[in-house]
Amino acid sequence: MDGLMMDFQLTLTHILRRAETFFGEGEIVTRLPDKSFHRTNYRETMRRARQLAAALQKAGFERGDRIATLCWNHYQHHEAYFGIPCGGFVLHTLNLRLHPHDLAYIADHAGDRAVIVDRSLLPLLDQFREQTKIEHVYVVEDSYEELLATADPDDWEDPRLDEREAAAMCYTSGTTGRPKGVVYSHRSSVLHAFGVGANNPLGLGVTVNDPIMPVVPMFHANAWGYPYLATMQGAKLVYPGPHLDPESLLENMEQEKVAWAAGVPTIWMGILHLLDESPGKWDLSSMKAMLVGGAAVPRAMIAGYESRHGLRIVQGWGMTETSPVASTAALPYDLEQVEEETRWDYQAMAGMPLPFVEIRARVGDEEIPWDAEAMGELEVRGPWVAASYYEAPEAADRWTDDGWFRTGDIVSIHPRGFIQIKDRSKDVIKSGGEWISSVDLENALMAHSAVAEAAVIAIPDPKWSERPLAVVVLKNGETVTADELREFLAPQFAKWWLPERFEFVDEIPKTSVGKFRKTALRDQFASEPTPAN
């Protein structure tokens, strides 16, 4: 039909040019290893990104080659976020918290030809490089600058990318089986940035005047899209570098007047404890909200931030396979006006899907009703949801015949469309033929004033097949008994949900991205017998 719109390619090159042209003075601030602050702007950063693209083109890399990064969150990593894909190559972020064996597999499987690495991480690279195809190593503090010096920014030749070409890739953390690669196209990356940051009731409403601090690592699913979102909007970026302790993050937030920050719950729980210990020490009046994801957010943490410190938590849900943000609990107009206890109930859910992301939950082939009670496996589809894993045909069953991605998350869905994560399919507790949500029990336990962290796992039981066991970390100076915790839970759950066993530990092991590592807890505790009922 005549008179239709242009066939305009959605590629990261347009975001690069936009930031350089319109938001050149926008700041990019990095906390350096010595804890000083480095300052640059979009004009200089995008100029260097073009220089990196040109240098890689001159160095003989071919279109589609994978260029890895092994870096903390900083401005040079931001340059790579644009320079690599805008040169026609594929950015592959390596998770610096993984075991060298996993990193060797991931870099080899992806076919990485080069790596940009922080000097402090060279000892890690040395442990696995020989098991990969990596030919070139560019150290951020020296040889990376030498690489840039081989080209001029004006040497950059726009490769005229197709929006469906690969821009970046990231591997799952591999908690079950080998890590699997997810490839993000230019189109999916651009649309994801719009979806997460759009100024609508479900997006975050980030503007050019909102400084953003991605605490979530840049090696984890493109830092949840924040580098692309901030650059598209021209918003100030604050990168924490290697300093992820609560005090350093609070210093960043106060000094740089951060409006939005993003990270996993364990980060924000640590910050909440520090704020509670020293109320009024930090001026956080510029904060609009913290986007928290990667694991279920305890309702007690949401309520604690708002009631004691006037700070808003916006929970998000997603996976490496969904770019990663697929839903947020940013509340629509009417729910913003409800009384706070009800509002916190909604904020403790994983939220509504972002525009263009579709959801359903099923048990077998049957969809569950949206009644906030029935539970089933969440399935999603949309323009930034993966259609397959990279060169992993054995995992094709993660997608249904009609194109939905099986997330492995067990959920219920509220009549308003809010997703409530009940468990991972591998973590859900099946007791006497019925499901028990470890997430619900964990959130309830973390609402107890003495509890800092709690993880609930399934352990074998001769009568019921499985029973819940609670692993608890207490706050400094606090004491509580197993019986007292069971009594605390009793009004909230059916009796058969209540754990018989409680284990008190100094620390709960966590994955490379800050989630509870329940496999380690099962290895530690599941072999011990459960007391007789």
Residues labelled catalytic = 172, 321, 430, 435
> 370: closest CA among 353, 355, 348, 383?
353
Taking CA atoms, 278 is separated from 228, 243, 253, 259, 268, in Å, by: 34, 20, 16, 21, 15
How far from 516 is each of 266, 349, 388, 512, CA to CA, in Å? 9, 19, 26, 10
What CA–CA distances, in Å, run from 265 to 269, 316, 410, 530?
A: 6, 11, 19, 30
Cα 330 from Cα 351, distance rounded (Å): 7
Exposure string over 328-350, b if 16+ CB within 10 A, otherwise e: bbbbeeebeeeeeeebbbbbbbb
Other C-beta atoms lying within 10 Å of the C-beta of residue 246: 17
Q: Which long-range contacts (CB under 8 A, 24 or more apart) does 368-373 make?
A: 368/412, 368/413, 370/413, 370/414, 370/415, 370/417, 371/412, 371/413, 371/415, 372/412, 372/413, 372/414, 372/415, 372/420, 373/412
Quickly list H helices, 35-183.
42-58, 75-86, 100-110, 122-126, 143-148
- What is the torsion angle, in degrees rounded to the nearest 10, for the CA atoms of residue 268, residue 204, residue 306 and residue 209? 90
The single-letter DSSP state of residue 390 is B
The two three-digit tokens of residue 259, written as one number: 């409006």
d(CA 436, CA 474): 23
Distance in angstroms (rounded) separating the CA atoms of residues 213 and 235: 10
Residue type, 315: Q
Residue 19 tokens read as 């930031």
Element (H or E) spanning 190, and its range?
helix 186-197
3-class SS string, 10-68? CCHHHHHHHHHHHCCCCEEEEECCCCCEEEEEHHHHHHHHHHHHHHHHHCCCCCCCEEE
**How far apart are the C-alpha atoms of 17 and 231, rounded to whole Å?**
10
C-alpha to C-alpha distance for 240 and 412, rounded to whole angstroms: 36
